[in-house]
Amino acid sequence: MLMKLLAIDTSTEACSAALSINGEISERYEIAPRKHAELILPMIDELLSDAGCTLAQMDAIAFGRGPGAFTGVRIGTGVVQGLAFSVDCPVVPVSSLAAMAYGTMRELTVDNVLAGIDARMGEVYWGAYQRSVDGGVQLLGEECVCKPDETRVPESDSWTGAGTAWKTYEAELTGRFSAVLKGHCFEVFPRAQNIAALGVIAVNAGLAVSADEAQPVYLRNNVAVKRKP
Protein backbone atom coordinates (compact mmCIF):
# COMPACT_ATOMS: atom_id res chain seq x y z
CA MET A 1 0.00 0.00 0.00
CA LEU A 2 1.38 3.41 -0.97
CA MET A 3 1.44 5.62 2.07
CA LYS A 4 2.71 8.90 3.46
CA LEU A 5 3.20 8.80 7.23
CA LEU A 6 4.71 11.28 9.67
CA ALA A 7 6.16 10.02 12.96
CA ILE A 8 7.56 11.70 16.05
CA ASP A 9 9.04 10.66 19.38
CA THR A 10 9.78 12.81 22.43
CA SER A 11 9.39 10.17 25.14
CA THR A 12 13.01 10.04 26.34
CA GLU A 13 16.19 12.13 26.16
CA ALA A 14 16.06 11.72 22.38
CA CYS A 15 13.90 13.89 20.15
CA SER A 16 13.12 12.80 16.60
CA ALA A 17 10.77 13.13 13.66
CA ALA A 18 10.55 10.93 10.57
CA LEU A 19 8.71 10.87 7.28
CA SER A 20 7.86 7.62 5.53
CA ILE A 21 6.90 7.98 1.87
CA ASN A 22 6.01 4.66 0.28
CA GLY A 23 8.45 2.88 2.56
CA GLU A 24 11.34 5.31 2.17
CA ILE A 25 12.10 6.91 5.55
CA SER A 26 13.94 10.15 6.31
CA GLU A 27 14.59 11.28 9.88
CA ARG A 28 15.77 14.13 12.08
CA TYR A 29 17.21 12.93 15.40
CA GLU A 30 18.92 14.62 18.33
CA ILE A 31 19.76 13.76 21.93
CA ALA A 32 18.37 16.89 23.57
CA PRO A 33 16.99 16.61 27.11
CA ARG A 34 14.44 19.32 27.95
CA LYS A 35 14.50 20.75 24.40
CA HIS A 36 11.77 18.62 22.81
CA ALA A 37 9.16 21.38 22.68
CA GLU A 38 11.69 23.65 20.99
CA LEU A 39 12.90 21.13 18.42
CA ILE A 40 10.04 18.90 17.34
CA LEU A 41 7.98 21.29 15.17
CA PRO A 42 11.03 22.62 13.25
CA MET A 43 12.08 19.00 12.63
CA ILE A 44 8.65 18.25 11.18
CA ASP A 45 8.64 21.38 9.03
CA GLU A 46 12.10 20.57 7.66
CA LEU A 47 11.15 16.99 6.75
CA LEU A 48 7.97 18.06 4.96
CA SER A 49 9.73 20.87 3.14
CA ASP A 50 12.60 18.64 1.97
CA ALA A 51 10.11 16.05 0.69
CA GLY A 52 7.86 18.64 -0.98
CA CYS A 53 4.89 17.46 1.07
CA THR A 54 2.30 19.09 3.28
CA LEU A 55 0.81 17.83 6.52
CA ALA A 56 -2.58 17.53 4.80
CA GLN A 57 -1.11 14.91 2.44
CA MET A 58 -0.28 12.51 5.27
CA ASP A 59 -2.29 9.30 5.47
CA ALA A 60 -1.52 8.96 9.18
CA ILE A 61 0.62 10.38 11.99
CA ALA A 62 2.41 8.02 14.39
CA PHE A 63 3.94 8.90 17.74
CA GLY A 64 5.78 7.36 20.67
CA ARG A 65 2.98 7.06 23.20
CA GLY A 66 5.25 6.05 26.09
CA PRO A 67 6.27 4.81 28.50
CA GLY A 68 9.02 7.31 29.15
CA ALA A 69 9.56 10.72 30.70
CA PHE A 70 6.22 12.20 31.76
CA THR A 71 6.84 15.63 30.23
CA GLY A 72 8.22 14.20 26.98
CA VAL A 73 5.32 11.78 26.52
CA ARG A 74 2.87 14.58 27.21
CA ILE A 75 4.57 16.89 24.68
CA GLY A 76 4.50 14.22 21.96
CA THR A 77 0.85 13.40 22.55
CA GLY A 78 -0.18 17.04 22.52
CA VAL A 79 1.76 17.86 19.36
CA VAL A 80 0.36 14.89 17.44
CA GLN A 81 -3.21 15.52 18.55
CA GLY A 82 -2.93 19.15 17.46
CA LEU A 83 -1.49 18.24 14.07
CA ALA A 84 -4.00 15.46 13.47
CA PHE A 85 -7.00 17.59 14.43
CA SER A 86 -5.82 20.38 12.12
CA VAL A 87 -5.93 18.17 9.01
CA ASP A 88 -8.40 15.47 10.14
CA CYS A 89 -5.74 12.74 10.01
CA PRO A 90 -5.77 9.35 11.77
CA VAL A 91 -3.17 8.65 14.46
CA VAL A 92 -1.11 5.59 15.37
CA PRO A 93 0.13 5.36 18.97
CA VAL A 94 3.30 3.23 19.12
CA SER A 95 4.94 1.91 22.27
CA SER A 96 8.30 3.52 23.00
CA LEU A 97 9.56 0.12 24.17
CA ALA A 98 8.34 -1.52 20.96
CA ALA A 99 10.20 1.09 18.91
CA MET A 100 13.41 0.34 20.84
CA ALA A 101 12.95 -3.38 20.33
CA TYR A 102 12.28 -2.97 16.60
CA GLY A 103 15.36 -0.80 16.13
CA THR A 104 17.54 -3.27 18.01
CA MET A 105 16.23 -6.20 15.97
CA ARG A 106 16.89 -4.34 12.75
CA GLU A 107 20.39 -3.15 13.65
CA LEU A 108 21.69 -6.28 15.39
CA THR A 109 19.71 -8.91 13.44
CA VAL A 110 18.23 -10.50 16.56
CA ASP A 111 14.74 -11.85 17.21
CA ASN A 112 14.18 -11.37 20.96
CA VAL A 113 14.71 -8.09 22.81
CA LEU A 114 14.30 -7.12 26.45
CA ALA A 115 13.64 -3.38 26.16
CA GLY A 116 14.13 -1.33 29.31
CA ILE A 117 14.03 2.39 30.06
CA ASP A 118 15.34 3.83 33.31
CA ALA A 119 12.14 5.02 35.01
CA ARG A 120 13.96 6.71 37.92
CA MET A 121 12.96 6.12 41.54
CA GLY A 122 14.71 2.74 41.43
CA GLU A 123 12.41 1.34 38.72
CA VAL A 124 12.46 0.46 35.02
CA TYR A 125 9.91 0.47 32.22
CA TRP A 126 10.11 -3.05 30.82
CA GLY A 127 8.85 -5.07 27.87
CA ALA A 128 9.86 -8.35 26.20
CA TYR A 129 9.47 -8.30 22.42
CA GLN A 130 9.82 -10.87 19.68
CA ARG A 131 10.04 -10.36 15.92
CA SER A 132 6.57 -10.85 14.41
CA VAL A 133 5.53 -12.44 11.14
CA ASP A 134 4.34 -9.10 9.71
CA GLY A 135 7.83 -7.64 10.02
CA GLY A 136 7.10 -5.72 13.22
CA VAL A 137 7.36 -6.76 16.84
CA GLN A 138 5.13 -8.74 19.18
CA LEU A 139 4.86 -8.04 22.90
CA LEU A 140 5.16 -11.15 25.05
CA GLY A 141 3.21 -10.68 28.25
CA GLU A 142 2.66 -7.06 29.30
CA GLU A 143 4.71 -3.89 29.56
CA CYS A 144 5.28 -2.85 33.16
CA VAL A 145 7.09 -0.55 35.54
CA CYS A 146 8.93 -2.42 38.25
CA LYS A 147 12.14 -2.73 40.21
CA PRO A 148 15.07 -4.34 38.35
CA ASP A 149 14.88 -7.46 40.50
CA GLU A 150 11.20 -7.87 39.59
CA THR A 151 11.75 -7.98 35.81
CA ARG A 152 10.65 -11.10 33.98
CA VAL A 153 11.60 -12.78 30.72
CA PRO A 154 9.45 -15.23 28.74
CA GLU A 155 10.96 -18.64 28.08
CA SER A 156 13.54 -18.54 25.29
CA ASP A 157 17.20 -19.39 24.94
CA SER A 158 18.48 -16.09 23.55
CA TRP A 159 17.67 -12.47 24.43
CA THR A 160 19.31 -9.11 23.77
CA GLY A 161 18.92 -6.27 26.24
CA ALA A 162 18.42 -2.71 25.00
CA GLY A 163 17.91 0.68 26.59
CA THR A 164 18.98 2.95 29.42
CA ALA A 165 17.78 0.49 32.07
CA TRP A 166 20.68 -1.76 31.04
CA LYS A 167 23.14 1.04 31.77
CA THR A 168 21.73 2.17 35.09
CA TYR A 169 21.14 -1.34 36.40
CA GLU A 170 23.70 -3.30 34.40
CA ALA A 171 24.93 -5.52 37.23
CA GLU A 172 21.43 -6.44 38.43
CA LEU A 173 19.99 -7.14 34.99
CA THR A 174 22.94 -8.97 33.45
CA GLY A 175 23.19 -11.13 36.55
CA ARG A 176 19.48 -11.82 36.58
CA PHE A 177 19.35 -12.93 32.94
CA SER A 178 22.85 -14.37 32.52
CA ALA A 179 21.51 -17.77 31.42
CA VAL A 180 19.59 -16.37 28.43
CA LEU A 181 21.29 -13.05 27.67
CA LYS A 182 23.09 -12.90 24.33
CA GLY A 183 24.25 -9.32 24.84
CA HIS A 184 23.02 -5.84 25.75
CA CYS A 185 23.39 -2.29 24.47
CA PHE A 186 22.99 0.94 26.43
CA GLU A 187 22.61 3.74 23.90
CA VAL A 188 19.24 2.70 22.52
CA PHE A 189 16.38 5.18 22.51
CA PRO A 190 12.98 5.22 20.81
CA ARG A 191 13.44 6.76 17.34
CA ALA A 192 10.89 8.21 14.97
CA GLN A 193 12.24 6.13 12.05
CA ASN A 194 11.31 2.95 13.91
CA ILE A 195 7.96 4.38 15.00
CA ALA A 196 7.30 5.22 11.35
CA ALA A 197 8.02 1.65 10.26
CA LEU A 198 5.78 0.21 12.98
CA GLY A 199 3.18 2.86 12.22
CA VAL A 200 2.90 1.77 8.59
CA ILE A 201 2.40 -1.84 9.71
CA ALA A 202 -0.29 -0.71 12.17
CA VAL A 203 -2.14 1.35 9.56
CA ASN A 204 -2.16 -1.61 7.18
CA ALA A 205 -3.57 -3.73 10.01
CA GLY A 206 -6.38 -1.24 10.58
CA LEU A 207 -5.09 -0.04 13.95
CA ALA A 208 -5.10 3.72 13.38
CA VAL A 209 -7.35 5.75 15.68
CA SER A 210 -8.85 9.24 15.75
CA ALA A 211 -6.87 12.09 17.31
CA ASP A 212 -8.94 12.15 20.49
CA GLU A 213 -8.28 8.43 21.00
CA ALA A 214 -4.51 8.93 20.80
CA GLN A 215 -3.68 8.74 24.48
CA PRO A 216 -0.32 8.54 26.28
CA VAL A 217 0.77 5.50 28.26
CA TYR A 218 2.71 6.28 31.42
CA LEU A 219 2.51 2.86 33.17
CA ARG A 220 3.28 4.56 36.47
CA ASN A 221 0.06 5.75 38.13
CA ASN A 222 1.62 8.52 40.19
CA VAL A 223 3.33 10.48 37.44
CA ALA A 224 3.73 13.59 39.56
CA VAL A 225 4.38 14.27 43.22
CA LYS A 226 1.38 15.92 44.81
CA ARG A 227 1.91 18.43 47.59
CA LYS A 228 -0.10 18.13 50.75
CA PRO A 229 -2.64 20.92 51.25
What global pTM score does this model have?
Answer: 0.94
Determine phi and psi for 189, rounding to 5 degrees. -125, 160
Q: Residue 161: which residues within 8 A CB-CB, separation 6 or more?
A: 113, 114, 116, 173, 174, 177, 181, 183, 184, 185
Which CATH number among 1.10.260.40, 3.40.50.1010, 3.30.420.40, 1.10.3720.10 corresponds to the domain 4-95+190-213?
3.30.420.40
pLDDT in tens, 77-116: 999 999 999 999 999 999 999 999 999 999 999 999 999 9
Superfamily classification of domain 96-185: ATPase, nucleotide binding domain (3.30.420.40)
At 223, the pLDDT band (50, 70, 90 cuts) reads very low
- CATH 3.30.420.40 domain span(s) along the chain: 4-95+190-213, 96-185
